[in-house]
């Protein structure tokens, strides 16, 4: 079936706002509704692709909470946290490890306008010690309540929307495809249009 | 069992930051993990109590995502959206109805430093027409992706954290109990300490 011009325009508009230099890495986040909500927020903010380290062997599942966002934000699997971090550092990402401890920095005091990856931990345990040791900067979202942490998909969205806010304020949120490498643009548009 | 002094101090610190003039009203949000994540975010931001209209007869359920926040943020049930809105308007709240339509205002362009209630809709359908008609202001969170909406608990948290940010920036986020009526403070502290 031929692609309707309106649909093609919509794909282009969305792709034109994608950011290859903003991403998340989730470590052992296994609940389908959390993972689904995370990808959906990535799509909404304009993340080009997301990353995950999972307990080996478990197939990934999404549910209706994703609303199909897994089609628009590929989730790249990594075997270990070390290889995931290596992959991201190689590409110039600064790694922000979420951490509820005292040494972490308030997320509003960080500069997220450069290449950055937010690293989120498991629902029960948070980031592993190994992951924590590999981060460039520990960040947290200050909380004023009795409960010690936020839901992981809520924390992810809060960080992503803050990054987007900063980029918009700085005038560096892309609008014309400048957020993705020129040589990838055509391939991506083709993939999106003819999956 | 007597209350440990440290515990009592913690309860007081949290209560001192509670805001009676910031709340959410959820209309037919029924998934336990969404409702749970919403209450958890309310607790984290400092909402004193939350409100809900639900399909009549269904008992409310929370799951582990709540992390016990339902104990710290009472969810007040209303039989109809009209009675819920009436209750809130009577208490001086301005009602912000989430709405993905064209006439809604960008949430970053709204002033949330005064008494405000965010009204969130069902996972599938969004706010009912009746609810939409009763709102003071339509708001939305701009999105740059293919999927048309955010997960409802993510949207709630995004609005609440923006309200908190604005109140902190304006120096009106409470720290010494000034966010709750003086005559309620003692009772609340007692309830929290000896449930
Ligand atoms: C439910 S929390 C894990 C709680 C765990 N008990 C701990 O102490 O880390 C799951 C993940 O959500 C994210 N998260 C939750 N609250 C956060 C906050 N206030 N700031 C930053 N990240 C947070 C972190 O990535 C965390 O690893
Ligand atoms: C999944 S959405 C409902 C989608 C529904 N198809 C619609 O068109 O309204 C569930 C609720 O999340 C909230 N929500 C989701 N995305 C939002 C956004 N971008 N801005 C404001 N609220 C949003 C609204 O309260 C909405 O009623």
Q: What is the DSSP secondary structure assignment for residue B110, as one 8-state letter? A: S
B39 assigned to some structural domain: yes
Does residue A14 sit within a domain? no
Q: How many domains does chain B fold into? A: 1
Contact call for residues B149 and B126 (beta carbons, < 8 A):
yes
State the nearest Cα–Cα gap between A27 and chain B, in angstroms: 18
B138 in any annotated domain: yes
Whether pLDDT at A59 is above 70: no
pLDDT at A195 over 80: no
Tell me: the pLDDT tens digits for B74-98?
999 999 999 999 999 999 999 999 9
Q: State which residue of chain B sits closest to A16, comparing Cα positions.
A: B144
Interface check for B165 against chain A (CB to CB < 8 A): the answer is: yes
Residue A119 domain-assigned (yes or no): yes
Q: What is the pLDDT of residues A70-118, one digit of tens each?
A: 889 999 999 999 999 999 999 999 999 999 887 899 999 999 999 999 9
CA distance A193 to A195: 6
State the residue range of the domain holding A33. Answer: 21-174
Whether residue B154 is contained in a domain is answered as: yes
Q: Is the pLDDT of residue A147 over 90?
A: yes
pLDDT > 70: percent of chain B: 96
CATH number at A71 reads 3.40.1280.10
Asked whether residue A142 is assigned to any structural domain, the reply reads yes
- The tokens describing B61, both together, are 């359920």
Nearest of A134, A126, A123 to residue A101 by alpha carbon: A126
| Ligand 1 and A152: CB distance under 6 A | yes
The answer as to whether B5 is a domain residue is: no
Nearest CB to B33; choose among A33, A43, A72 = A33
User: What gap in Å lies between CA A82 and CA A93, rounded to an integer?
Assistant: 14
User: Which helix (H) or strand (E) segment is A5 a member of?
Assistant: helix A5-16
Q: Find the helix or strand (DSSP H, E) in which B191 lies.
A: helix B182-193
pTM score, two decimals? Answer: 0.95
**B179 Cα to the center of ligand 1, angstroms:** 27
What pLDDT shows up at residue B2?
Answer: 66
> What pLDDT score does B61 carry?
78
Distance A143 CA to ligand 1 centre (A): 11
Classify residue A10: in a domain, yes or no: no
Instruction: Write out chain B residues lying below 8 Å of A67, CB-based.
Output: 147-149
């Amino acid at each position: 079936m031929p692609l309707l011009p309106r649909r093609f325009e919509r794909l282009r508009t969305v792709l034109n706002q994608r950011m290859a230099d903003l991403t998340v890495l989730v470590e052992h986040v296994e609940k389908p509704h959390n993972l689904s909500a995370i990808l959906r927020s990535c799509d909404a903010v304009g993340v080009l692709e997301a990353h995950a380290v999972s307990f080996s062997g478990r197939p990934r599942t999404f549910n209706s909470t994703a609303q199909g966002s897994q089609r628009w934000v590929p989730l790249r699997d990594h075997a270990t946290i070390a290889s995931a971090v290596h992959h991201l550092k190689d590409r110039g990402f600064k790694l922000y490890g979420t951490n509820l401890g005292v040494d972490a920095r308030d997320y509003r005091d960080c500069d997220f306008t450069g290449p950055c990856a937010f690293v989120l931990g498991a629902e029960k345990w948070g980031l592993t010690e190994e992951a924590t040791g590999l981060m460039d900067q520990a960040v947290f979202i200050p909380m004023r309540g009795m409960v010690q942490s936020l839901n992981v998909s809520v924390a992810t969205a809060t960080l992503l929307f803050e990054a987007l806010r900063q980029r918009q304020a700085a005038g560096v949120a892309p609008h014309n495809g400048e957020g993705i490498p020129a040589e990838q643009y055509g391939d991506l548009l083709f993939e999106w249009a003819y999956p």
